């Protein structure tokens, strides 16, 4: 943060790209509270307008740093209120926020209702994987496995190693060692 503060002390005004980089750094450092502080500064002290990258990084920082999911939800609503179109990165960050708070039904609602129906974005391996992970993390093994099958059957998507890991972890959490082993054998 030294360089960022030096930039401001020299009278240079950071732009949205500078703030996006700083918020992304907070995400990597699991500092969701600092990310929110930078976001508030962006809104209050600059002429820069947050973009979808700003919001995606901020939502990711909340998810990865253990921030309150209710705050993430309000930020998600705010970005839509600004007329910004969420992308798959934004949706994955929101799904992760829900997973971290035990809100698997909300995660699936974001995946189906917001992303697919409202935004018209087709599901991909990454968004399916995030949703499978959310269900598994919340103890919804059967739902996670249904999504795993659905992505292949209904959308012709091929699971990647992360998808398999999420499905296997869901089985482990649900106590289904046989299914976990069968998935492992598919790799």
So what's the pLDDT on residue 12? Answer: 82
**Tens digit of each residue's pLDDT, the chain (187 residues):** 777 777 778 888 889 999 999 999 999 999 999 999 999 999 998 888 999 999 999 999 999 888 788 899 999 999 989 999 999 999 999 999 999 999 999 999 999 999 999 999 999 999 999 999 999 999 999 999 999 999 999 999 999 999 999 999 999 999 999 999 999 999 8
Q: How many CB atoms lie within 10 A of CB 87?
A: 15
So what's the pLDDT on residue 95? Answer: 96
Residue pair 125/159 in contact by the 8 Å Cβ criterion? yes
Predicted TM-score (pTM) of the model is: 0.88
CA 108 centroid distance within chain = 12
So what's the pLDDT on residue 153? Answer: 97
Residue pair 139/130 in contact by the 8 Å Cβ criterion? no
Could you tell me which residues come within 8 angstroms of residue 22 by beta carbon, excluding any fewer than 6 positions away? 1, 4, 14, 38
């Amino acid at each position: 943060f030294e360089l960022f503060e030096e930039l401001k002390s020299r009278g240079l005004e950071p732009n949205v790209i500078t703030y996006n980089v700083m918020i992304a750094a907070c995400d990597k450092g699991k500092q969701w509270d600092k990310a929110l502080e930078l976001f508030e500064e962006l809104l209050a002290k600059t002429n820069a307008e947050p973009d979808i990258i700003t919001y995606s990084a901020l939502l990711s920082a909340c998810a990865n740093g253990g921030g309150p999911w209710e705050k993430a939800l309000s930020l998600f609503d705010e970005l839509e209120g600004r007329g910004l179109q969420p992308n798959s990165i934004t949706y994955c960050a929101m799904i992760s926020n829900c997973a971290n708070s035990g809100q698997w039904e909300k995660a699936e609602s974001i995946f189906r209702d917001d992303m697919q129906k409202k935004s018209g974005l087709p599901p991909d391996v990454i968004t399916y994987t995030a949703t499978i992970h959310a269900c598994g993390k919340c103890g919804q093994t059967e739902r996670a496995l249904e999504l795993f099958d659905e992505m292949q059957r209904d959308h012709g998507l091929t699971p990647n190693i992360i998808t398999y890991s999420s499905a296997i972890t869901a089985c482990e959490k649900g106590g289904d060692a046989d299914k976990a082993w069968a998935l492992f054998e598919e790799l």
